[in-house]
Structure 1
Amino acid sequence: MIINNTFQSRPQLDKKFALRIAKQLAAAIADKGSASIAFSGGSTPKGLFTELSNKNIDWSKVTVTLVDDRWVDTTNNDSNDRLLRENLLQNYATNATFFSLKQANNLTESYLADLTKLANDFMPLDVAILGMGEDGHTASIFPCSAQVHQGLDENAEPSLIKVVPTTAPYERVTFNFAALIQSSNLYLHVVGQSKQDVISQALANDDATQMPIRAFLQNKDKTCNIFWAE
């Protein structure tokens, strides 16, 4: 199920979205004493990061992590880890706890199992913000990868998995569908007409292996709020 939230400009979207997220994090803190949120990377959320970092909530009780990341050094320009540290973990948000997905040199099964156990301390997420590629991939669940069925398995244990896309660079580490769909508040954050076209294509068919975003947009038990601006 989806709810469309359309804005006239990207700055307007960023302001409204940051306000909503801040309220949801604050509500989670008031309810259970802590909150957790996972972000996607790329250029789209940079304005959102700046707006949210200036929200005066109790960031010391918030765990921030990523939906997925490229398996590169955290100083690499393609690192979502670096993107988050340089753009979100500023201002008030410097007090947040950052759970990095790259805490070792080798992306092994044992590493993923250990990291998943550590992530259980803040899972399920209070907020998860997905992005989406032109091919309909979301998180790092790529339709071109041999791991697409593993990533989309509804019956799998919520976990972090390794994905090796064939149409994009780098190995990836990503939360699987089973982990992300449990988020209390699920969002898709996209901008530009081309992404609206991809959403329309995603809603026209239900084969999630061809466009993994379909698994989230068409899930009968979870509402996905789409935040979009031209």
Structure 2
Amino acid sequence: MYQFKEHSSRNELDNRLAIEIVALLEQAIKDKGSASIAVSGGSTPKGLFKQLSSMDLAWNKVTITLADERWVNLDSDASNTRLVHENLLQDKAAAAKFFHLKQGDQLTAETLADLNLAAKNTILPLDILILGMGEDGHTASLFPCSEQIKDGLDPENESALLSVEPTTAPHQRISFTFASLALSKNVILHLCGESKQQVVNKAINGKDSFEMPIRAFLHHPSLNTQIYWAP
């Protein structure tokens, strides 16, 4: 299931979404003493990150992670970790904890096993998941072109994380699986631009998740994915 929430501008969207995210994090902290949120990379969330970083919250009780990460050096322009540190983990939000997906030089089976265990023990299930979406309908690093897409979308997959080798995008990736992301208490799809509206409309009007993995979230019977869009 999904709900489409249209905003008149990106600034309005960022402000509105930041307020709602903080309210959800505050409620989680009130309920259980801590909160967890996974964010996505790319250029779309930069404004949102900067808005969040200035807002009052018990950030020391919040753990932030990424829905996926490219296995690149942390100083690379392609690093989502760098993006988060430079735009979100600033100002008041600098007090938040960060769960690193990219740890070490190589994504070995042992590294992946250790990260799976750590994720399950510390941040899952997520209180908030903020997804992005590519022009091909991929989300996180669940790419329709990858050999790993079957495992990535398997609702019975017991792994929290998997290694992904997309054929239509650069870099090896690490990504949370659909099964682990679907446990999130709040799921938000953050989109901007006319082209992304066309892509999400195509996703809404079809059912094949292997063609467009975002459909796994939009058409899941017990998930209520909130689509936040602005031109």
TM-score band, normalised by the shorter chain?
over 0.9
Q: Which moved more, 1:80-89 or 1:157-166?
A: 157-166
Preserved contact between residue 142 and residue 212 of structure 1 (Cα < 8 Å)? yes
- Paired residues in the alignment total 230
Deviation at 1:169, TM superposition (A): 0.3
Gaps of 5+ in 1: none
The more displaced of 129-138 and 108-117 is: 108-117
Residue 13 of structure 1, CA deviation: 0.2
Runs of 4+ that moved beyond 2 A: none
Unpaired segments of 5 or more residues in structure 2?
none
Q: Name the structure 1 match of 2:80.
A: 80
Q: Aligned equivalents of 2:150 and 2:194: distance in 1?
A: 29
Match of 2:111 in 1: 111
> Is the CA contact (8 Å cut-off) linking 1:158 and 1:177 kept in structure 2?
no
Give the distance between the partners of 1:195 and 1:109, measured in 2 at CA. 35
How far apart, in 1, do the equivalents of 2:14 and 2:210 lie? 31
Name the amino acid aligned to 1:217: L
The sequence identity of aligned pairs, in percent, is 52
Counterpart code for 1:56: D
Deviation at 1:158, TM superposition (A): 4.3
1:40 aligns with 2:47: no
* Partner secondary structure for residue 191 of structure 2: strand
Normalising by structure 2, we get a TM-score of 0.98
Equivalences for 1:128-147 in 2 at 5 Å? 128-147=129-148
- Aligned-pair Cα RMSD in Å: 0.6
Q: Deviations over 1:5-39 (max 9, x none)?
A: 11000000000000000000010000000000000
Q: Which residue of 2 aligns with 1:71?
A: 71
TM-score norm. by structure 1 comes to 0.99
Which residue number corresponds to residue 196 of structure 2?
Answer: 195
Structure 2 counterparts to residues 37-186 of structure 1, below 5 A: 37-120=37-120, 121-186=122-187
Q: Given residue 148 of structure 2, which amino acid in structure 1 is its aligned partner?
A: Q
Deviation string for 1:174-206 (max 9, x for gaps)? 000001111000010000011111111111211
CA distance in 2: counterparts of 1:82 and 1:59, whole angstroms: 19
Output the CA distance in 2 between the equivalents of 1:122 and 1:68.
Answer: 14
1:147 and 1:140 map into 2 onto residues whose CA distance is: 10
Distance 1:168 1:98 in 2: 26
